[in-house]
């Protein structure tokens, strides 16, 4: 692999054919030709994480947030094959959310590569359900009805970078709010909701297109039918985001989601800052006192049955899903790369195709998991493994 030339050779992640990828100085793939060589290096599109709160001790939701924190998170994500992500700002005070958004915008302006890796900001809350269960670990003190004036203030603070908004359509006038968001170019996702099936349908009609971590952020017990999970599964217009860390959803539920949604299933990490950290007791903004078990399960200390986010990065989630036998490796990888791009309407993030952005990773498959050897972002090598 010559890092000075705009060419890489390896096995196509889906077809398993040996290919040679070349790209132009403007960061677009020029060609995919038959390749030569014997090395067992795989080439795959860069991962796209639509929902991530931090990792490796870096918390995107704790104040004071610095641009360095955002930059360091981005660099660590390159190591995990992520070439586009949506830092997720969760329920907090109005001023605190505004401060976080300003820092993310400043980091994008400070570091061009970071700015190109952040596809936009995902605001998850505070316009969610206040009920125990659907609220999840979000702080009940800050939950409120959708407020367009407040949201436009946040959008201005973000430098117009907010691209995804998770809300619950159970609030009065939620449909009107969704229509305003969609008209302004936003992607609206239904999540942390106790909405009725009728309210779910109304939200979809207004333009909501994604379900945020479907099956989580829900009551511990539900009516067998109807309920808001069945209704979201039944809405063909909705993409289903899911966390496949082995704790948020049983494999049987993942199997049902895959069959119901077919090619409209998205993998997200929902990783919090404790991802990559040793097991133990921690304090977080979103959940207060939490426990990270040696097995990697992160839950509230006061209520162990409630999770407090994921401690698994997207790369490992892809590996785990593929190993579960519920889908193939290429299918799992697409749920974390190609399909998120489609859900966000990113037509130039078209995988390993001529004219697509040169966002891809070189991988090594080995016992114990996937190892990223190199991450190429916009035609630039932003990470190379040592050794």
Q: Give the residue numbers marked as catalytic.
A: 270
Separation of alpha carbons 287 and 194, rounded Å: 20
The residues pairing with 290 across neighbouring beta strands, listed in sequence order, are: 282, 300
Asked whether the beta carbons of 244 and 321 are under 8 A apart, the reply is yes
| E-only strand ranges, 117-271 | 121-124, 162-167, 187-190, 210-211, 239-242, 265-267
Which phi and psi (to 5°) does residue 100 adopt?
A: -60, -45
| E-only strand ranges, the chain | 7-12, 18-23, 29-34, 42-45, 47-52, 54-55, 58-59, 82-90, 121-124, 162-167, 187-190, 210-211, 239-242, 265-267, 280-284, 288-292, 298-300, 360-366, 369-377, 380-384
Residue 285: C-alpha distances to residues 36, 87, 184, 288 (Å): 51, 15, 30, 6
Where do we find the tokens 């599109």? 45
Annotate 358-378 with DSSP letters as a single string: --EEEEEEETTEEEEEEEEET
Which phi and psi (to 5°) does residue 177 adopt?
A: -65, -45
């Amino acid at each position: 692999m010559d890092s000075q030339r705009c060419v890489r050779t390896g096995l196509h992640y889906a077809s398993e054919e040996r290919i040679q990828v070349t790209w132009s100085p403007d960061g677009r793939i020029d060609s995919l030709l038959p390749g030569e060589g014997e090395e067992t290096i795989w080439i795959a599109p860069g991962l796209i994480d639509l929902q991530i709160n931090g990792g490796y001790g870096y918390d995107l939701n704790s104040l004071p947030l610095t641009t360095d924190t955002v930059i360091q998170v981005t660099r660590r994500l390159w190591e995990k094959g992520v070439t586009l992500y949506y830092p997720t700002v969760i329920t907090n005070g109005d001023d605190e959310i505004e401060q976080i958004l300003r820092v993310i915008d400043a980091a994008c302006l400070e570091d061009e590569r970071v700015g190109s890796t952040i596809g936009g900001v995902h605001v998850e809350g505070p316009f969610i359900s206040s009920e125990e269960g659907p609220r999840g670990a979000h702080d009940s003190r800050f939950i409120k009805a959708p407020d367009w004036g407040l949201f436009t203030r946040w959008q201005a603070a973000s430098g117009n970078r907010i691209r995804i908004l998770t809300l619950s359509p159970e609030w009065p006038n939620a449909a009107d709010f969704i229509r305003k968001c969609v008209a302004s170019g936003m992607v609206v996702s239904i999540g942390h909701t106790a909405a009725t099936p009728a309210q779910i349908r109304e939200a979809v009609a207004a333009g909501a297109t994604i379900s945020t971590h479907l099956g989580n952020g829900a009551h511990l017990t539900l009516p067998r039918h109807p309920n808001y999970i069945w209704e979201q599964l039944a809405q063909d217009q909705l993409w289903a985001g899911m966390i496949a860390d082995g704790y948020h959803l049983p494999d049987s539920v993942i199997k049902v989601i895959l069959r119901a949604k077919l090619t409209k299933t998205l993998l997200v990490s929902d990783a919090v800052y404790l991802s990559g950290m040793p097991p133990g007791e921690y304090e977080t903004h979103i959940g207060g006192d939490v426990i990270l078990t040696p097995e990697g399960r992160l839950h509230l200390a006061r209520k162990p049955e409630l999770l407090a986010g994921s401690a698994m990065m997207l790369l490992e989630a892809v590996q785990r899903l593929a190993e579960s036998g519920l889908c193939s490796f290429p299918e799992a990888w697409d749920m974390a790369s190609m399909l998120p791009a489609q859900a966000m309407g990113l037509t130039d993030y078209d995988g390993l195709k001529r004219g697509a952005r040169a966002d891809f990773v070189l991988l090594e498959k080995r016992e114990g998991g996937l190892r990223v050897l190199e991450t190429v972002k916009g035609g630039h090598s932003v990470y190379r493994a040592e050794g």
